[in-house]
Amino acid sequence: MTNIKTVLGKVLHTIHSHNLIETNNKVLVALSGGADSVFLLHILKEADIGCDAAHCNFHLRGDESDRDEQFVISLCKKMNVKLHRTDFDTTDYAKKQGISIEMAARDLRYAYFEKLRNEWGYDKIAVAHHRDDNVETLLLNLTRGTGLKGLTGMQYCNGHIIRPLLDISREEIEHCCNEREWQYVTDSTNLETDATRNKIRLEIIPMLKKINPSVMDTMQETIGRMNECYQLYTEAVGKLKNEIQEGLKINIHELQRITSPRTILYELLSEYGFNNAQTNDIYEHLNGESGKLYESNEWRLLRDREVLILKNKNEKAECLCNILPLEGYVKITANKDFIIERHSIDKDFNIPRSMDTVCLDMDRIEYPISVRLIQEGDKFVPLGMKNEKLISDYLTDKKKSVYDKESQLVVCSGNKIAWLVNERPDDRFRITDKTRRILKIRVINH
């Protein structure tokens, strides 16, 4: 027969074995008013663990939401527990963010908890997920389709979030609440079968229990084993990632050489927000045409010949200067500066041959001299040639990637391009035996 001492012992064992709460930690309990969170608050108090509470009113269930809030206020007053509370227009937030109500509530709840943690100095945020929640999450992930990570269920500790009740059941929680006469409120939506999770709870799990009465325990044990497997898997994947990735570049040849390259690619790209469908498409076109781009919310991935190149969308090329001085030191981009000098030609002057320096005939230059990023349709006459060439074609011939092209600079003389920076000057501004004065521009890369 379940009793409070046995359950308390299980909870304390979970806390100690997973090092969830250390001595003198300040704990914030997420208190909804339901049996789970009420039990968690009582059990931590019984264990002499100092804690406060936080309640969110999401205004999703009309009067019932306000009832829960008033119950929590009364409970915390009775237990002499400090209570933080807030409310949200969850529906409006979900609409603006283009996400589900469930996801919106989750985002708002955890953002609020984190705000309280920073402002009040809490060490841990305790949430009341229990064993049955964990099993339901596993079944939900299996239903939707999941990788190995989705089979590991909820974590006892995830950053500052802790789950001390993961080793006890909903039945044990309700039995203890009834035994101690700890009052709680019931969310009526938990008794409906509209939501997928509720269907699993109210229909699927009872059917599984008919096959195996101990199914909840065996599935919890399976989750534990999958966690251990996932740790080994993560370690192996990490080593393979190091073999194929350098910075933000993934070597396609090395990727194709390893075992299960599709899986490793997914594990690598999922960290950058790419989903399974995108990863499959990227994998199927590893040997395809160069230049194809893929996008996640925050990243772009370029298939560029022998490598896949990642780039954050916030890292956009930007030219910080337009009109150039005739002499001086000027910042052009976040990682490029120009040093500009004027020289008179004499017998001792040597024309630099490096790609980072250009010398232009000053008597051929039309002012103002400016610098900018390349634009569609830009043309120039490459040094040594007589006809104009599209800069985009020139850079393609030089095997430059899309990212390289986006950050390519040109120095302009009036409306004509005088220098494709770090590449090639325009023949119309070349130094000849008649040149007497030159403008020298040198690039400093950071």
Instruction: Provide the β-strand partners of residue 328.
Output: 340
Instruction: Give the residue range(s) of CATH 3.50.40.10 domains in the chain.
Output: 328-445
pLDDT in tens, the chain (446 residues): 567 888 889 999 999 999 999 988 999 999 999 999 999 999 999 999 999 999 999 998 889 999 999 999 999 999 999 999 999 999 999 999 998 888 999 999 999 999 999 999 999 999 999 999 999 999 999 988 887 888 999 999 999 999 999 999 999 999 999 999 999 998 766 544 457 888 899 899 999 999 999 999 999 999 999 999 999 999 999 999 999 999 999 999 999 999 889 999 999 999 999 988 899 999 999 988 888 899 999 999 999 889 999 999 888 888 888 999 989 999 999 889 999 999 888 777 778 888 999 999 999 999 889 999 999 999 999 999 999 999 999 999 998 988 999 999 999 999 999 999 999 999 999 998 888 899 999 999 88
C-alpha 111: how far from its chain's center? 16
**For 20-70, how does the pLDDT look when each residue is reduced to its tens digit (9 = 90+)?**
999 889 999 999 999 999 999 999 999 999 999 999 999 988 899 999 999
- Could you tell me the pTM of the whole model? 0.68
DSSP letter at 204 equals I
Spell out the alpha helix ranges (H) of 98-183: 101-120, 131-144, 170-180
- What is the distance between the alpha carbons of residues 200 and 205, in angstroms, rounded to a whole number? 6
Q: What Cα–Cα distance (Å) separates residue 245 from each residue in 77, 238, 251, 389?
A: 56, 10, 6, 36
At what angle are helices 131-144 and 170-180 packed, to 10 degrees? 150
**DSSP annotation string for 311-356:** EETT--------BPPSSEEEEEETTEEEEEEEEE--TT-----STT
* Distance separating alpha carbons of residues 156 and 402, to the nearest angstrom: 44
Using DSSP's 3-state secondary structure scheme, residue 49 falls into coil
Superfamily of domain covering 4-223: HUPs (3.40.50.620)
CATH 3.40.50.620 intervals, the chain: 4-223
> For domain 328-445, is the CATH number 3.50.40.10?
yes
Q: List the one residue out of 112, 232, 105, 219 whose CA is nearest residue 166.
A: 219
